[in-house]
C-alpha cells in the first residue's frame, strides 16, 4: 500500500544522528509519503553530528498537528536541543494526543519524556536514557523496536530496518 496521502514530520535540530534522520526520510518518501523536515526555525539548515546539512521546511510553530499522520524523532544529541523549544515539545504531545504515530529512536525518546507522553507505556531507546524514561513513568523494554498504542520506539541505527518497517505498518493500519 502506498503512503501517498500521508504527511509525516521528521524533527530536526543540530547534532542529529545522520542515519536516524535520513533513513526514515528516504524510506517514507519511497512509500510516497509527504515527508517534511520540522525544526525550531523555518528555512534554516541544521547540521548532523558529522556536519551533514538538513534544511527545515516548516517551523514547529507553523505545523498543525491534525494535518500530520505521524512524527519521527531521530536521536543523538538533537533531542536534547529540541526539547528546549516549547513548540517542538507541544507538537509531539499534540500528535500523541490525537493518536497519530509517534516514533522515536536512540535519544529521541527524551522528547517523549519532555512531552509527558511515556507514563505507563512500554518504550525503548539508547541504553543511556533508560533512567530518564523510567523516571518519566515508562516501562523499559530492551528490544529493537517497541510499539505501545500509537508510539513506536527503537534503540540504535542498527535497528532502523525494523523501526521504519514498523512505522510504515502502523501508518497503514491507522488509516
Which residues belong to the active site?
107
| Rounded distance between C-alpha atoms, residue 107 and residue 75, angstroms | 4
Hey, what's the cell of 62? 507553523
CA-CA distances (angstroms) from residue 24 to 52, 61, 120, 135, 168? 16, 23, 27, 28, 10
Give yes or no for a contact between 2 and 29, defined as CB atoms under 8 angstroms apart: no
What contacts 109, CB < 8 A, 6 or more positions away?
Answer: 73, 79, 118, 123, 124, 125, 129, 132, 133, 138, 153
Amino acid at each position: 500500500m502506498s503512503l501517498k496521502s500521508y504527511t509525516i514530520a521528521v524533527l530536526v535540530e543540530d547534532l542529529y544522528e545522520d542515519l536516524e534522520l535520513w533513513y526514515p526520510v528516504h524510506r517514507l518518501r519511497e512509500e510516497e509519503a509527504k515527508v517534511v523536515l520540522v525544526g525550531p526555525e523555518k528555512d534554516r539548515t541544521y547540521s548532523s553530528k558529522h556536519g551533514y546539512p538538513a534544511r527545515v521546511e516548516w517551523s514547529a510553530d507553523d505545523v498543525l498537528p491534525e494535518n500530520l499522520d505521524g512524527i519521527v524523532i531521530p536521536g543523538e544529541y538533537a533531542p536534547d536541543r529540541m526539547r528546549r523549544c516549547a513548540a517542538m515539545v507541544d507538537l509531539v504531545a499534540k500528535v500523541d494526543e490525537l493518536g497519530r504515530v509517534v516514533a522515536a529512536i536512540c535519544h529521541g525518546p527524551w522528547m517523549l519524556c519532555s512531552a509527558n507522553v511515556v507514563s505507563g507505556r512500554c518504550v525503548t531507546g539508547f541504553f543511556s536514557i533508560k533512567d530518564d524514561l523510567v523516571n518519566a513513568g515508562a516501562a523499559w523494554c530492551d528490544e529493537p523496536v517497541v510499539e505501545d498504542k500509537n508510539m513506536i520506539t527503537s534503540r540504535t541505527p542498527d535497528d532502523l530496518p525494523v523501526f521504519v518497517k514498523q512505522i510504515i505498518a502502523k501508518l497503514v493500519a491507522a488509516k
